[in-house]
Amino acid sequence: MHHMSTEMQACIEECLRCHSTCLSMAMNHCLEVGGQHVEPAHFKLMMACAEICQTSANMMLIGTHHHKHTCRECAEICEECAASCDAVGGMEACAEQCRKCAASCRAMAA
């Protein structure tokens, strides 16, 4: 296995946590609450966030320098998802995790 910095290990963990949080919140909380929580723009953003987080984690685990590209996009999508979760309301845990992931990915993309 390639040498991995502690920062990269932490970013992988944040990405996987964010993937899990977004997917779980979308499939459980949002679908149960309905209304704005299942509006297409918000719901698609949550799915996109979960996917890019998993992809970014995978790129870092593979050990390719291309992780910088996916991490940059991941940070952007996570910030958008956090803002959307704030706007919809009642999704503080998801918004918080998205912001943690965004910060970690931003550092990895640098």
Q: How distant, in Å, are the alpha carbons of 72, 83, 104, 108 from that of 6?
A: 19, 28, 12, 11
pLDDT at residue 99, as a whole number:
98
Q: Given a cut of 60, is residue 9 above it in pLDDT?
A: yes
Q: Given a cut of 70, is residue 1 above it in pLDDT?
A: no
Nearest to 78 by CA among 51, 48, 98, 103: 98
pLDDT at residue 93, as a whole number:
96
- pTM for the full model? 0.94
40-62 per-position pLDDT tens digit = 999 999 999 999 999 999 999 99
pLDDT at residue 4, as a whole number:
84
Q: With bands split at pLDDT 50, 70 and 90, how would you rate the model's confidence at 2? A: low
